[in-house]
Amino acid sequence: MGAKGFVEGGIASIIAGCSTHPLDLIKVRMQLQGESNVPNPATIQTLRPAYAFNASSATAGAIHAPPPPPPRMGPVTVGVKIFQTEGVAALFSGVSATVLRQTLYSTTRMGLYDILKQKWTDPNSGKMPLVRKIAAGLIAGGIGAAVGNPADVAMVRMQADGRLPVAQRRNYKSVVDAIQQMTKQEGITSLWRGSSLTVNRAMIVTASQLATYDQVKEMILGNGIMKDGLGTHVTASFVAGFVASVASNPVDVIKTRVMNMKVEAGAEPPYSGAMDCALKTVKAEGPMALYKGFIPTISRQGPFTVVLFVTLEQVRKLLKDF
């Protein structure tokens, strides 16, 4: 019975992940907007003499002044720009990493949640208290994220690659190539870069997403609002997607930036860790920077959660006799 939960969750997660991948890519690109305003310590050292030298000359100073930040773009503009400059295939950059990530991360979290749900459901009432649902989500999400982190790092990098100048692109051929290159160039620990953030985000997402879905579905059925069918599944999953988006977006922005940062040999990394990244981001771009990409996050998390749970319910029906 336990293994079945992993299979059902895995199939539903892969279908949901692939079908909403372009929205996830747009979200990642939006989260990285304005990041160049956060100076790299090595860049500050390099620029300091130039500024000191040009201090007496207004004209020379103007020449060396940093360019103004590019205007912020909305999700549609970002999507159109990717399509125009990189082609339609670019909207599926990193899709192999998405498949691997869902296979590792989501299969683990969905399966573990299912096992905990069976263990912690009250045998008399057949219900599971909300606190237990949240606890099950936190545990399942944390373990799933630790397992899937290498695929997560590879996915972020592959999705972000197109926004870099051609000379700086990593040009990973696939998720396997990305993991091999990262291990070779940056060491095996680079595969778990930002893992504390991935685990935190996954715990928040899984707890809010799975617990909300089960709770809302329970309330709809318990109050006789709708029967156990497509309408109930779509309603409960949309609410779950919204709650998960609001709860996870700040951690998601920091996770994306830490995973994508370029660490040059001998230079200090742009961020020393998650907290440093959060402080620099807020200082340079304001607190609302932590909600960058929220529209594509909800635009992706909503459909992803709907596809995930609607598919999951159908897969459960198909596999009920196994």
The pLDDT assigned to 43 comes to: 42
Element (H, E) at 57: none
Answer with the residue of higher pLDDT: 255 or 134.
Answer: 134
Element (H, E) at 140: helix 130-160
Instruction: Encode pLDDT of 92-104 as tens digits.
Output: 887 888 898 899 9
Instruction: Encode pLDDT of 182-231 as tens digits.
Output: 899 988 988 988 788 889 889 999 999 999 999 999 999 999 999 999 99
Q: Give the dihedral of Cα atoms 54, 57, 58, 64; nearest 10 deg.
A: -30
State how far Cα 135 lies from the chain centre: 21
Classify residue 305 by burial, with Cβ atoms within 10 Å: 0-12, 13-18, 19+: buried
Whether the pLDDT of residue 68 is over 60: the answer is no
| pTM exceeds 0.75, yes or no | no
Query: Rounded to whole angstroms, how far apart are CA atoms 204 and 105?
Result: 14
| Contact between 181 and 170 (Cβ < 8 Å) | yes
The pLDDT assigned to 154 comes to: 87
> Domains of the chain (ranges plus CATH)?
2-34+70-318 (1.50.40.10)
| Residue whose token pair is 């949640």 | 113
Nearest-CA neighbor of 34 among 268, 249, 273, 282?
282
